[in-house]
Every structure is written in C-alpha cells, then in structure tokens.
Amino acid sequence: MDEILSRNKNLARGFRNLDIWQNAIKLYCYTHDLLTKNPKICFKIKEQIEDSSFSVHSNIAEGYTRRSIKDTHKYYVIALSSSSECYSQMYALLKSKQVELLDFDKFDTKSFELQNKLLNMNKALLDKISNNQGWNSEY
C-alpha cells in the first residue's frame, strides 16, 4: 500500500484496504493511460469509457461507507455493472480496430480479475442478507 493510503485512517476510509477497490483504481489508471495515448478514439467515447471505469472504484468506496448491508450490496452491484459497461466499450473499440489486441488483452485480464472479486464479494453479501447475519452498522 502506498504512503498516502496508510495515513489518516478512519472507518470511512476503510475501503482503501479492499483488494477490489485497489484493483479498480489500477484498472482506471490503465484505461486512462490507454485512452490518452490513442489518438484514434474520439473525445466523447474516451470520456464515456473513463466515466464507466471511474465509476467502479467510486461505487465501491461509497458502498463501503453505507451502514446497511443492503445499501452496500446495491453499490457493489453498480460497481460490477459499471465494470461490465467499461468492458463492453473497450471490446467495441477492439472490434472497430481503435485499440490493439495486446492493449485490450491487458485490460481484459485486469477487468476479469476485478469482476470475479466483485462477484465473490456480492455473493458473500447476498449470503449474509439471506441468512440474516449480523452487520455492524455503528460508527
């Protein structure tokens, strides 16, 4: 973990320790770099893809700080949906020959890993909801 993430800790910033949040940040950075270096892609499409990629880590962070397990799950589902949106957009760029296969493959690997972690997190939250397991909603 970098120095910035290890300072000024509190409950509201606990999401910084989540692998899914850290992976989402890495995916956003990779996506941003890929889009920035590629002049073939029009501005509007770049912005839409960056928005969907940016939404993933943002929703993980917002969901983490919700004090209800159902709210947390809702935001993690939105994060997963945004990651699927981003994947679809990047795949369309590949098919239209606006990104190289090697670049897409790197993106795909990062996206696949993140989506699997989000799926597992969502399954675990659904299990807690279904089994009426406790959820610490206090600050």
- Could you read off the pLDDT of 71-102 as tens digits, one per residue? 999 999 999 999 999 999 999 999 999 999 99
Mean pLDDT within 44-66: 97
Instruction: Identify the pLDDT of residue 1.
Output: 57
**Structure tokens, 133:** 């397991």
Residue range 117-128: average pLDDT?
95
Contact 132, 34 (CB under 8 A): no
Task: Give CA separation, 110 vs 16, 23, 52, 61, in Å.
Answer: 18, 8, 15, 19
CA-closest candidate to residue 98, choices 56, 52, 43, 25: 43
Q: Which fold has domain 16-129?
A: de novo design (two linked rop proteins) (1.20.1440)
Q: Torsion over CA of 62, 64, 66 and 67, rounded to 10 degrees?
A: -170
Annotated domain spans of the chain: 16-129
Question: What is the percent of the chain where pLDDT is above 70?
Answer: 95
Alpha-carbon distance of 123 to 115, in angstroms, equals 12
pTM here is 0.91
Average pLDDT estimate for 1-9: 83
Closest to 63 in 3D by CA, of 130, 125, 128: 125
